[in-house]
Structure 1
Amino acid sequence: MGYWFRIGDFDLLVVSDGVIRQDAGATFGLVPRLMWEKYVPDIDEKYRLPVGLNSLLIRGGGKTVLVDTGCGDKVSRAPGAMGIEHTGRLIGNLRAEGVAPEDVDLVINSHLHFDHCGGNTFVDDGKLRPAFPRARYVIQKGEWEAATHPNDRTRGTYLAENIEPLDDAGLVDLVEGDTEVVPGVRMVRAPGHTDDHVVVEVESGGDYALYIGELSQHPVQLERLAWISAFDTMPLVSLETKKRFVEKSIEKDATIVSVHHEYPGVGRLRLDNGKRKWEETSNGSAGNENGAAL
């Protein structure tokens, strides 16, 4: 079953697209292996760690909103630097919770790297089509420009197959800056991983939830703010962004949803003798909803 919880008048569901494996050293950037390896017991022979692909479904205000769509099922299954053999499960997991693709009104991509928007589209009878045909896809204008005009560093992660069919179908809404998509649901700029990366806030009835996107790929990165992934294009900006949202999360006792923590990736940050501590609100594992842990 999926992981449901409530924030005021909203029903939220964490639903998985699967699990990938990512280079452990790159995940922790400049942090020496001797410092981080004790936090990562599950490393494979290629020195990769399992990384979740947790999307968030939000129901309320007469709308159904989906945040991030995982890798989808179009990416190559060939072994390589990233283990992507166990992805493409989002639609099936949504259907198992009674949610059809046609039920989704809005799709928000925290950014347009392939592991966050690969499920935007699918192949039907040899043609690429939007996976959520009735939805508007709400994307930051700057992120759209970066994805449609990639440079030598970014062209391997910005894939046209994940976004061009949306534009062809007239389903893209480009926005600039912080945007309330539904009363109580906001996409908020959180630069660092990319310049126009966003997080998503849900606030209702005194409750507050935060979908953090790429602010963290492992829980210890929320406890130790200077531990920044090598995948962040602006690491010093990431540091300031993460500090801002971590402080806000502690102040507001936020329910945090992480796309890349082990499923379901839901928890809270507490202060313990002045030190930040991540506390999971459910004992999930990266494989529980995906068939098998990697």
Structure 2
Amino acid sequence: MLSVGDYTLQTLNVQEFSLDGGSVFGVVPRVLWEKVIPPDHLNRVRLSMRILLIRGKGRNILVDAAMGTAWSSKMRSIYDLSEWRLDEELQKAGLNREKITDVIFTHLHFDHVGGAFEEKDGELAAVFPNARYYVQKENYETAFHPNMKEKPSYPSSFIRALGQSGSMELVDGIVQLSPGIEMVPMGHGHTAGHQLVKISGEEKTVVHGGDLIPSSAHLGVIRGLAYDIAPLEVIREKIALLDNLISGNWILYFAHDPFITAATLREGEKHVVVDREVAV
């Protein structure tokens, strides 16, 4: 756990999945990325799907929701999807599903929104019955009418369930959810309306890197994802974020890194690197 201002931050290690190495590292050659995360026999790399829990001021806030359980056996096999440990992780934190008050989505790609719903009687039901859901308006509109490249990443069943939940709040621009917690849109690099979450206190600031910097292996500015819709925008957004992280000695939280949960950063010989790992 980590204290930041009026809040306590804690990681929920709810799930892992595997993605094709080329999709995770884009233009980076396999000969380089396989030294960081060795692929399996299907060229897939194993990634974490962490959920960040933010507690304080009477709220229990989650950032993203992983993939969850509402997937066919075929999709489970494709993604080598692990067991769903949500209830066990919440119990460790002294919570349950009913006590979650808010869920902030960095964006609505399948591995960030799926875990907010589960299948019951052939329908998708809310996993967190008392929570409000927050997403940038632009991202919801993109998810509801996806372009051809992103259509597989925005499963229509989950997007419809979110829209029909009656609990979704569309935000536009930088929005303060609670004093010290901001939702900050980054632009159109990874996907339109992608946002980061910034938690600030007098002594520490933590930024959830979403899929702009999903792991420490993506700290190099040209190390993007094949999923990114505008690679040059990703580079611009990443440079701006890294400058703030280093100059402010902020902590960066990695949602998908299989080895490092969070860290401060510094300039390395070739690109920005991890300076100090931080337990969350």
TM-score, structure 2 length as denominator? 0.92
- Describe how 1:253-268 pairs up with structure 2 within 5 A: 253-262=249-258, 265-268=261-264
* Alignment partner, residue 197 of structure 1: 194
- Describe how 1:21-40 pairs up with structure 2 within 5 A: 21-40=18-37
- In the alignment, which of 56, 59, 62 is matched to residue 58 of structure 2? 62
CA deviations 1:142-168 (Å, max 9, x no partner) are: 111111112332221112332323332
CA distance in 1: counterparts of 2:8 and 2:248, whole angstroms:
19
1:217 and 2:209 correspond: no
Contact 2:183 2:197 in 1 (8 A): yes
Contact 1:177 1:189 in 2 (8 A): yes
Contact 1:121 1:161 in 2 (8 A): no
- In the alignment, which of 271, 277, 280 is matched to residue 281 of structure 1? 277
* Alignment partner, residue 228 of structure 1: 224
1:5 and 2:2 correspond: yes
How far apart are residue 215 of structure 1 and its match?
A: 1.5
CA distance in 1: counterparts of 2:113 and 2:86, whole angstroms:
11
Name the amino acid aligned to 2:213: S
Q: Residues 88 and 80 from structure 1, CA distance in 2 versus in 1: closer, same or farther, beyond 3 angstroms? A: closer
Q: Residues 203 and 45 from structure 1, CA distance in 2 versus in 1: closer, same or farther, beyond 3 angstroms? A: same
* Local SS of the residue matching 2:218: helix
Name the amino acid aligned to 1:167: G
- In the alignment, which of 162, 178, 186 is matched to residue 158 of structure 2? 162
1:245 and 2:241 correspond: yes
How far apart are residue 87 of structure 1 and its match?
A: 4.6
* Alignment partner, residue 171 of structure 1: 167
TM-score, structure 1 length as denominator? 0.88
1:74 and 2:70 correspond: yes
* Local SS of the residue matching 1:86: coil
**RMSD across aligned positions (CA):** 2.1
How far apart are residue 7 of structure 1 and its match?
A: 1.1
Name the amino acid aligned to 1:233: I
How far apart are residue 247 of structure 1 and its match?
A: 1.1
* Alignment partner, residue 116 of structure 2: 120
* Alignment partner, residue 83 of structure 1: 79
Deviates more, 1:203-212 or 1:149-158: 149-158
How far apart are residue 216 of structure 1 and its match?
A: 2.3
How far apart are residue 75 of structure 1 and its match?
A: 1.7
Name the amino acid aligned to 2:226: A
CA distance in 2: counterparts of 1:98 and 1:126, whole angstroms:
31
Q: Residues 87 and 269 from structure 1, CA distance in 2 versus in 1: closer, same or farther, beyond 3 angstroms? A: farther
Q: Provide structure 2 residue ranges, at least 5 long, that are not aligned to the other structure.
A: none
1:141 and 2:137 correspond: yes
How far apart are residue 242 of structure 1 and its match?
A: 0.8
CA distance in 1: counterparts of 2:204 and 2:271, whole angstroms:
24
How far apart are residue 196 of structure 1 and its match?
A: 0.7
How far apart are residue 80 of structure 1 and its match?
A: 7.7
CA distance in 1: counterparts of 2:169 and 2:128, whole angstroms:
14
* Alignment partner, residue 131 of structure 1: 127
Contact 1:70 1:88 in 2 (8 A): no
Contact 2:215 2:255 in 1 (8 A): no
* Local SS of the residue matching 2:81: strand
Name the amino acid aligned to 2:101: D
Q: Residues 280 and 75 from structure 1, CA distance in 2 versus in 1: closer, same or farther, beyond 3 angstroms? A: farther
* Alignment partner, residue 97 of structure 2: 101
How far apart are residue 267 of structure 1 and its match?
A: 1.4
How far apart are residue 85 of structure 1 and its match?
A: 2.3
Q: Residues 153 and 218 from structure 1, CA distance in 2 versus in 1: closer, same or farther, beyond 3 angstroms? A: same
Name the amino acid aligned to 2:64: D
